[in-house]
Amino acid sequence: MRLDLIAVGTKPPKWVREGYNEYAERLGRGWRLSLTEVAAARSNNAAQVAEREADGLLRAVKDGVPCIAFDERGEALSTRQWAEHFDIWSHHGGRAALLIGGAGGLAPAVLQRADRRWSLSPLTLPHMLVRVLVAEQVYRAWTLLSGHPYHRG
């Protein structure tokens, strides 16, 4: 399973890089989580910022790859449900794109392109923290599917 994490922001703090890498490097048995960073846009107009960032996010998504947009208004899934989706995708192409917007969220074009919209929480989370949360949940899903004892829930 190859998961392309495509995220707005090119200069994460050290703790974000370390947290993301910790979980991405733990994956095994044919799973890979790769990060593509998209430059954050600057403007006083929030809609313009989201649109500019959308261009970069959408360019990074490979054709025909299922796309998940993280959005606070998306579907709230359990870790087991994440694992079920990844298991299905691993048998149908073996790849998915996971999109994280910038501080202003995702533009309508990104939400329209997404095959699914997932919520990590009803809270508004810092977009850099979301990288770490997604990496940990991907790792946790892998542990469920591979029988690793990490997940005890």
Residues at the annotated binding site for S-adenosyl-L-methionine?
Answer: 101, 120-125
Tokens representing 44 are: 């006083």
Tokens representing 115 are: 């095959």
Q: Is the dihedral of CA 12, 115, 52, 46 positive or negative?
A: negative
Burial class (CB in 10 A: 0-12, 13-18, 19+), 128: buried
Q: Is the dihedral of CA 120, 33, 129, 9 positive or negative?
A: negative
- 30 neighbors 39 (Cβ within 8 angstroms): no
Q: Which residues contact 104 (CB under 8 A, 6 or more apart)?
A: 46, 49, 50, 53
Q: Show binding-site residues.
A: 101, 120-125
